[in-house]
Amino acid sequence: MDEKIPKLRTDLEFFPVQQGRGRFVFVKDSLGLADGRLIPFPLFEILIQMDGKASLRDIQAFVMRKSGGMIIRKEEIEALIKKFDDMFLLDSNRYRLERQRIENEFLSMKIRNCFHCGRSYPKEPEELKKMIEKIIEEADADSAGSNSSDIIALIAPHIDISVGAKVYGKVYSEIKGKSYSKVIIIGVGHNLSDNFFSVTEKDFETPLGISKTYKDGIRALKRAAQNIIAETDFAHKTEHSIEFQLIFLQHLLKGDFEILPILCGPVKFLLNGEYSRNSYLKKVKPFIEVLSDIFSQNRCLLVAGVDLSHIGPKFGHDMPARYIEPQSRRHDQALINAILNKSPDAFWEESKRVDDKYNVCGFSALSCFLELITRDPLDKVAELLDYEIWHEEATNSAVSFCGIKFLR
The predicted structure's pLDDT at residue 280? 97
The predicted structure's pLDDT at residue 377? 57
The residue length of the chain stands at 408
Q: How many domains does the chain have?
A: 2
Q: Once rounded to an integer, what is the mean pLDDT over residues 11-38?
A: 86
Provide the Cα torsion 139, 145, 148, 151; round to 10°: -70
Residues 158 and 182 in one domain: yes
Q: Are strands 182-188 and 300-305 parallel, antiparallel or unpaired?
A: parallel
Give the tens place of pLDDT for each residue, 373-392.
998 755 789 999 999 999 98
Stretch (H or E) spanning 14? strand 12-19
Q: What is the mean pLDDT of the chain?
A: 93
Percent residues over pLDDT 90 in the chain:
77
* Residues 168 and 138 sit within 8 Å (Cβ to Cβ): no
Give the tens place of pLDDT for each residue, 179-209.
999 999 999 999 898 899 999 999 999 999 9
pTM over 0.85: yes
177 C-beta neighbours (distance < 10 Å), count? 9
Predicted confidence band at 15 (pLDDT cuts at 50, 70, 90)? confident
Tell me if residue 237 falls in helix, strand or coil.
coil
Residues 52 and 153 in one domain: no
The predicted structure's pLDDT at residue 145? 46
CATH number for the domain harbouring residue 384: 3.40.830.10
69 C-beta neighbours (distance < 10 Å), count? 8
| Of the candidate ranges 228-237, 304-313, 334-343, 389-398, the one whose mean pLDDT is the lowest | 389-398
Give strand pairing partners of 27.
Answer: 14
Predicted confidence band at 324 (pLDDT cuts at 50, 70, 90)? very high
Residue 343 belongs to a domain = yes
Nearest to 149 by CA among 109, 124, 180: 180
| Of the candidate ranges 22-36, 194-208, 280-294, 342-356, the one whose mean pLDDT is the lowest | 22-36
92 DSSP assignment: -
Nearest to 287 by CA among 344, 232, 227, 345: 227
Higher-confidence residue of 150 and 366: namely 366
Asked if the model's pLDDT at residue 83 lies above 70, the reply is yes
Q: Is 388 exposed, middle or buried (0-12, 13-18, 19+ CB in 10 A)?
A: middle
Give strand pairing partners of 389.
Answer: 400
Q: Once rounded to an integer, what is the mean pLDDT over residues 108-134?
A: 96
Residues 134 and 83 in one domain: no
Q: Are strands 203-206 and 381-392 parallel, antiparallel or unpaired?
A: unpaired
C-alpha pair distances (Å), 404 with each of 188, 192, 322, 331: 17, 25, 25, 17
402 C-beta neighbours (distance < 10 Å), count? 25
The predicted structure's pLDDT at residue 211? 98
The predicted structure's pLDDT at residue 28? 86
Tell me if residue 153 falls in helix, strand or coil.
strand
Give the tens place of pLDDT for each residue, 258-290.
999 999 999 999 998 889 999 999 999 999 999
Taken in order 39, 41, 43, 49, the sign of the CA dihedral is: positive
The predicted structure's pLDDT at residue 272? 87
Asked if the model's pLDDT at residue 144 lies above 60, the reply is no
CA distance 55 to 227: 39
Last residue of a domain, one of 80, 103, 126: 103
CA distance 105 to 102: 5
| Of the candidate ranges 16-25, 173-182, 248-257, 293-302, the one whose mean pLDDT is the lowest | 16-25
Residues 184 and 64 in one domain: no
Residue 223 belongs to a domain = yes
CA distance 377 to 146: 19
Higher-confidence residue of 249 and 56: namely 249
Residues 99 and 164 in one domain: no
Q: What are phi and psi of 166, to 5 degrees?
A: -60, -45
Residues 231 and 93 in one domain: no
Residue 219 belongs to a domain = yes
Residues 203 and 93 in one domain: no
Nearest to 86 by CA among 101, 103, 104, 98: 98
Q: Once rounded to an integer, what is the mean pLDDT over residues 138-155?
A: 70
Residue 249 belongs to a domain = yes
The predicted structure's pLDDT at residue 313? 87
Residue 7 belongs to a domain = no
**CB-based contacts of 346: which residues, under 8 Å, 6+ apart?**
334, 337, 338
Last residue of a domain, one of 77, 103, 129: 103
CA distance 277 to 267: 10
Residue 87 belongs to a domain = yes
73 DSSP assignment: -
The predicted structure's pLDDT at residue 378? 57
Q: Which residue range forms the structural domain that includes residue 17? A: 12-103
Residues 317 and 277 in one domain: yes
Last residue of a domain, one of 103, 131, 148: 103
Residues 177 and 269 in one domain: yes
